[in-house]
Structure 1
Amino acid sequence: MTAPIAPPVTIRTGTVPEGKVSDFLTGRHLRDTPEEYVRQNLEKALVRQYKYDPRDCEPEFPIKVGSSRKRVDVVVFKPGAAHTQENAYVLVETKRAGVSPASRTEGIGQLRSYLAACLNATYGLWTNGDEQYCFAKRASGDGQFVFEEIIDIPAFGQTEEDAQRPQRKDLKPATADNLLFAFRRCHNYIAGTEGKQKPEAFWELLKIIFCKIEDERSRRLDFYVTATERANATSAVSAKTRIQQVFTEKVLAKYGAIFPASDATIDLKPTVIAFVVSQLQGYSLLASPVDVKGVAYEEIVGSNLRGDRGEFFTPRNACRMAVTMLNPQPGEKLIDPSCGTGGFLITAMNHALAHIEQQERAQWATPSRGSDEERLELYRARNEYLSQMVHGLDLNPGLVRAAKMNMVMNNDGSGGLWQVNSLANPRTWTEEARRRVVLGSFDAVVANPPFGANIVIDDDEVLEQYDLAAIWDRRPDGRWEMRVDKNGHRVLQKNQPPEILFIERCVQLLQPGSGRFALVIPNGILNNPALGYVRSWLMANVQILAVVDMARELFQPKNDTQTSMVLARRLSDEERVAAAAGTLEYPIFMAVTERIGQDKRGNVLYRRTETGEDVLVTREETLAEIDPATGEEVLRTVTVQERQIDDELPDAATAYRRWLGEQK
């Protein structure tokens, strides 16, 4: 049965002409340029992270510099004051990536000249996304000014001192791509300054990110660096000593399995550690949205750990579609047997956690802000789910380590990940993996098995576990039959691609009768006549719930394989008998998605009207924030207007959930 895909439900608040973007502060249409991309992210940060009133901010503000007129990219004015040059408080200059801060016309010298021309302006920020510099303007005593580099500009109502060493109440959840910029700055600085290879720089950066996360979980914040420590190599030694102590006492003590004894030191120069800490100390990584952290983390993971065994990370929109359709619940055991860096597993895990949080908050006297006892119960429920229900396996030890770190940054659950060969006999796995991962015990499986590479499984001890590793013959009536020898034993093929064996392993993991999977499967398996036996085996062992054909561009430009997302439920023994007899009938949801939000080069594509203008949508977004009075996390709902990505995967998930509700 095929269900049509309903058009997306959107609130059309306007359109944006092709090649334009809608300014975050003013709504004006501006040219869509690399520099504008940086500025729009900074505007969002000024309002959402630094908490400045958008009415006190103005882009492209004209000022007089000597006898000429210049335009400052963004000016923050004193609260409620008229927008005049005399009332300018913070000046921001944004440049496209690649512009040097030392540039005579576009570098930090330009920002300093603007600050000097605005007598009452106190702070300045210059960034090209990959680099960022903050300054405070000081009177020198002779009627002139000096510009002192500082860690960060103050947020609204914040003192400069607090901005340089933030307290818990000052930590800011990241927005838009600003965390991505920060991670990229740190990674590039480590690689460029230390002379390390990119993967080496990546692992050292992750140690510091771990320090940041665990420091946020502790009562006393030690993850900070002063302006003096960042500017002076001798003083930076104190910063390295402090951060190394955080790593030893707060990270190694808790995550010894991730960091072996040989990796117990942050192998970076004091000045490098001071720089990295300065870029991250003002954020609250724990309170930052999952997608913001995911995009930032996967950016640096993807540039360092993409393997050569067909490991292509599942795009986030495909993960979200599959998880929405699968709808994993808090009481269900979840596993990804080819978890990679954990993106698919984290999406499913957070879907279930959202149910837990919604259920718990619904019982609170004030849903947006619970008492200590209520928060403790929410923490207990989340921790119970993460420690008992979330599991992941992968053959690549580097990816497993990266996945553990990714999960720690996204609510944790890292204790259920193991480095094992998922296709091997479970008796070869580690003792804890054997104990926790039992075939036939899982309610939900999400997986994007390795594919698209010239790799095969040819170990007989592995192959003998699988029906799909056997030779299958097609009978005259068109049905497929597994070949057996005279003793009734399966006759094995010499080798088999891992993606075929993973299909059977995923079914083996599921509880008979109720367990279900969401699995990325290459279309060749679904339509190649020679692989008809795979489809025959599937129909004999699972109920196919849905097949969503995903556009070829989904994995491009890294991989050109066209895939489908297949959802299925493992049949009970009684149902398998009915399937074998040909009496098991049921409808199947099928959809074809032609647009997945990007082109073959990976460039984002936006939905357009019939006249070629971008479609704008308005949606409500729940943000976690730090209450300045208590230092606790609270929720706030904001209205966000943005261009709609031309992606039909969410539409397919919505149509499937609607179709599923219509079934008896």
Structure 2
Amino acid sequence: MADLEVQEKDGKIYCPLKKAWHVSTPEERVRQYYIAILANKYGYSLEQMDQELKVNNSKRGQGKARADIVIWKSEQDKKDKKAAFIVVECKAENVKVRVEDYYQGFNYASWAHAEFFVTTNEKETKYFNVDPAYLPQKLDEVVAIPTAKDLDDAARIEQIKNQTKLFTRDEFTKTLRACHNIIRNNDKLSPEAAFDEISKLLFMKIRFERDNKGMKVFTKQEYLDAAQNHEKNVRPGLKGTDLYALSYMQFLFRTTKEFFKDDRLFDDKDEINIRENSFIQILEKLETFNLSDTQDDVKGIAFEEFLGTTFRGELGQFFTPRTIVDFMTEILDPQEGEVICDPTCGSGGFLIKAFEYVREKIEADIRSKKDSLRLSIEGNDYDALPEDKQVKISHSIDKMQAALNTELDTGIEDSRMYQLSRNCIYGTDANPRMARTSKMNMIMHGDGHGGVHHHDGLLNVNGIFEERFDVILTNPPFGQNVDRGQLISEADKFTDEEMKKKYKKKYGAAYDEALKQVDDHIGESLLSLYDLGNTSTLTEVLFMERCLRLLKKGGRMGMVLPEGVLNNKNLQAVREYFEGKAKIILICSIPQDVFIAAGATVKPSLVFMRRFTNDEESEYANCKSEALAEVTALHQAEIDKLEATIAKADALTELLKDDLKKAQTKLKQAKKDKKNTTSVETEITTIKKEQADNRLNKKTAEKELKELYKQIDEETKPVVKKKFDYDIPIAKIDDAGITTTGAASEGNQLPQLVDEYSAYRIQNNLWPVLNNEIIYAMNTDGKYCRYIGSQEVVLNEQ
């Protein structure tokens, strides 16, 4: 049988299921081209399909009352009006369509008892298994739909239903491991070097597929065809350092480095360090995955699992368990618009969770706004309207959904997701491999990588400087010491003038000031930059101060810390330092088991603090002043007595000095007159003894006064705490969701603690909740806009 061809002429398109010519609208074109795919690729006959099938149910709000394409298992089932097998919903917008935009289709698929539901537009197609146990809205995304040949094979259909996102994620994880093994076997590279090569190739693949807007996958054949053209038509005759004189593999990597140059992912001298046959084998392994549009939670979690087995098992790298990352993020509850940082980001776990956490809030808000706008567009009498008006309303709903979907696209400037991705997520790591891994990990999870840098987390860089952040989440290195001889060097300076101009434009005078932290202290000790540098050289102590400095007034932070920081007597000065600058809002003791699988032996605690607001700083200063005055008053008589003793000693010092001078003059004259000097010498000895006694009395009084002031200082501290009193919630968790082997445990208590703490902190107003209500409406020009107060932003149209 010949393939079904789509016929178009004179602005019309032929619809074989209707045996009629229809106006060639964008949506109709999508529908007819997909009908051709169903016939030619999947083998479905026209006799077992229908289009624009009217919905026969009484539920209001189903959108347009016709399903785009319906497929039955057989022509006879269609005639007998049996349950449909597949329902297809078509849209015309060439944008990433969200599943909730297909509410008409998936509701119809559920009510029609279809087993599969398909969404398609000009760019992408997604497949879902309709779960009958959750009518009418439970969908599980799968990787394919059955072909006509599969219809009589119940086992095959069940297998397809089970090939869910989890299947795809597992397959991707296995594929990454297989790629790793190819390099280790073919090129004999170490595990970390093999990982670096995979990272390079993944970045090349991402760049290729993004350049092609997800319409092409970077396949083995794509590469071979382009490489052949490069070797035949481009490279001959070129010599030296010319970019095009490189092999095609190295040429692709060089252009990829240029594409990501602002991210400083690779060193200028980096190149591909594997054989071309390894490169081609890896491309072949990866070609079933389009990294441009594979769902973020699929490729992201897969990449994390690959990281976990590669780094934990072979490189000994330390990772914060996901249960802890989730818990700490949920406790601090970052909001849209807040700026978030991890100055020791490692593989990016905290940054990714914060990004996903805020993204989910944005997506939930968009879904809610779509629902309310849809109902307002439909009106109360939608079901009674003529079909042509229902179609017109449906198109209006599609326009609204497409407009609001632009808010979820990280590539559209000024969209809500663009702002989150580009302006709200920041991190540093001193290890270049981990910084690059963090960037890759974030790209796999949906982006936000631009704010991550390879840099010493204790030094300012680009967007990471003092009083910039609303939320900090981090797991700093434990038990290490910063060498007192470690100096700030010229290598620490940021010298890219082009990038400096960009940052100065973005951050203004604050960026100039931030650069001075390094530029004005070349040759000085790193420890000298920190108040606690003289008190402790421990990395966790310095990073606690660093994080506090990075926070805005009123900003909040969560840190994984060794329990000793909280109860070690040697670190009392450190605790007092923080008590004078921040409120402790939660201390959570967790089992040592949590980090044993990662190779850590120190018992950890999770410590949450909020930096004082301006008012709290003033309040604390006043409490301290009042407490000092009160305690000092209790010892004033003793102070007065000691100060009087010191003053008397000072006065006596001057008298004795004069007496000694006179006696020495008398002695000199007696010697000159050759008189007996015994009495004068005795007088001088007596004066000197009085001076020594007086100095001792003064020194004793001064020492006693110093000790008294030290005593007053110690006595003042509990008075300050009493005056500046607040509750410090303390929790002890016996099961944090992970065992000593790294496996998930069954009695995770952290989610319950999140619920309890959330209620507690809202009730006690521990920090203000942002209330920037966003409204969407159509303006007088017929364009959908975002309104925050009086601010209007016209949404990009795709």
Q: TM-score, normalised by structure 2?
A: 0.49
Deviation at 1:188, TM superposition (A): 1.4
CA deviations on 1:113-144 (whole Å, 9 max, x unpaired) are xxxxxxxxxxxxxxxxxxxxxxxxxxxxxxxx
Match for 1:461 among 498, 520, 525?
525
Instruction: List aligned pairs for 1:463-502, cutoff 5 A.
Output: 463-469=527-533, 492-493=534-535, 496-502=537-543
**Structure 2 unmatched ranges of 5 or more:** 1-115, 119-124, 132-145, 233-245, 375-396, 410-414, 487-523, 625-719, 766-798
Whether 1:587 aligns to 2:593 is no
Task: Judge conservation of contact 1:310–1:453 (CA < 8 Å) in 2.
Answer: no
Map of 2:740 onto structure 1: 600
**Counterpart-to-counterpart distance in 2, 1:173 and 1:382:** 25
Give the number of equivalent residue pairs.
446
Whether 1:521 aligns to 2:661 is no
Match for 2:204 among 208, 211, 222?
211
Match for 2:469 among 442, 454, 463?
442
**Counterpart-to-counterpart distance in 1, 2:539 and 2:313:** 15
Task: Judge conservation of contact 2:203–2:256 (CA < 8 Å) in 1.
Answer: no
Task: Judge conservation of contact 1:520–1:563 (CA < 8 Å) in 2.
Answer: yes
* Greater radius of gyration (CA): 2
**Counterpart-to-counterpart distance in 2, 1:339 and 1:383:** 21
> Counterpart amino acid of 1:254?
F
Task: Judge conservation of contact 2:428–2:454 (CA < 8 Å) in 1.
Answer: yes
Deviation at 1:527, TM superposition (A): 1.9
Whether 1:411 aligns to 2:455 is no
Note closer, same or farther for the CA distance 1:294–1:591 as it changes in structure 2 (3 Å cut).
farther
Map of 1:504 onto structure 2: 545
SS in 2 for 1:398: helix
Whether 1:545 aligns to 2:598 is no
CA deviations on 1:33-86 (whole Å, 9 max, x unpaired) are xxxxxxxxxxxxx9999969699xxxxxxxxxxxxxxxxxxx999544255xxx
Deviation at 1:255, TM superposition (A): 4.1
**Counterpart-to-counterpart distance in 2, 1:363 and 1:76:** 37
**Counterpart-to-counterpart distance in 1, 2:457 and 2:313:** 17
Instruction: List aligned pairs for 1:566-577, cutoff 5 A.
Output: 566-572=607-613, 573-577=617-621
**Counterpart-to-counterpart distance in 1, 2:398 and 2:269:** 44
319-328 or 567-576, larger mean C-alpha shift:
567-576
Match for 2:180 among 174, 187, 192?
187
Map of 1:359 onto structure 2: 365
Instruction: List aligned pairs for 1:55-66, cutoff 5 A.
Output: none
Whether 1:221 aligns to 2:216 is yes
Map of 2:753 onto structure 1: 652
Map of 1:488 onto structure 2: none
SS in 1 for 2:544: helix
Note closer, same or farther for the CA distance 1:290–1:595 as it changes in structure 2 (3 Å cut).
farther
**Counterpart-to-counterpart distance in 1, 2:260 and 2:194:** 23
Map of 1:324 onto structure 2: 330
Deviation at 1:655, TM superposition (A): 2.0
Deviation at 1:305, TM superposition (A): 5.6
Map of 1:339 onto structure 2: 345
SS in 2 for 1:443: strand
CA deviations on 1:490-534 (whole Å, 9 max, x unpaired) are xx24x511011111111111112x111011111111122322222
CA deviations on 1:141-200 (whole Å, 9 max, x unpaired) are xxxxxxxxxxxxxx79x9xxxxxxxxxxxx978645332222111111221122222122
Note closer, same or farther for the CA distance 1:388–1:603 as it changes in structure 2 (3 Å cut).
closer
Map of 1:554 onto structure 2: 594
Task: Judge conservation of contact 2:117–2:127 (CA < 8 Å) in 1.
Answer: yes
**Structure 1 unmatched ranges of 5 or more:** 1-45, 56-74, 93-154, 159-170, 427-432, 470-491, 608-645
Larger proportion of helix: 2
Instruction: List aligned pairs for 1:389-400, cutoff 5 A.
Output: 389-400=424-435
Task: Judge conservation of contact 1:286–1:411 (CA < 8 Å) in 2.
Answer: no
Note closer, same or farther for the CA distance 1:328–1:506 as it changes in structure 2 (3 Å cut).
same
Task: Judge conservation of contact 1:213–1:409 (CA < 8 Å) in 2.
Answer: no
> Counterpart amino acid of 1:378?
L
CA deviations on 1:378-399 (whole Å, 9 max, x unpaired) are 3222122222222112222221
> Counterpart amino acid of 2:456?
N
Whether 1:178 aligns to 2:171 is yes
**Counterpart-to-counterpart distance in 1, 2:292 and 2:304:** 17
Q: TM-score, normalised by structure 1?
A: 0.59
Map of 2:456 onto structure 1: 421
Map of 1:81 onto structure 2: 152
SS in 2 for 1:596: coil
Task: Judge conservation of contact 1:341–1:402 (CA < 8 Å) in 2.
Answer: yes
Match for 1:378 among 402, 408, 419?
408
**Counterpart-to-counterpart distance in 1, 2:558 and 2:480:** 21
Task: Judge conservation of contact 1:317–1:650 (CA < 8 Å) in 2.
Answer: no
Instruction: List aligned pairs for 1:229-248, cutoff 5 A.
Output: 247=253
520-529 or 320-329, larger mean C-alpha shift:
520-529
**Counterpart-to-counterpart distance in 1, 2:738 and 2:291:** 28
Whether 1:349 aligns to 2:355 is yes
CA RMSD of aligned residues (A): 4.2
CA deviations on 1:593-628 (whole Å, 9 max, x unpaired) are 1112332232333x2xxxxxxxxxxxxxxxxxxxxx
SS in 1 for 2:736: coil
Whether 1:275 aligns to 2:376 is no
> Counterpart amino acid of 1:466?
Y
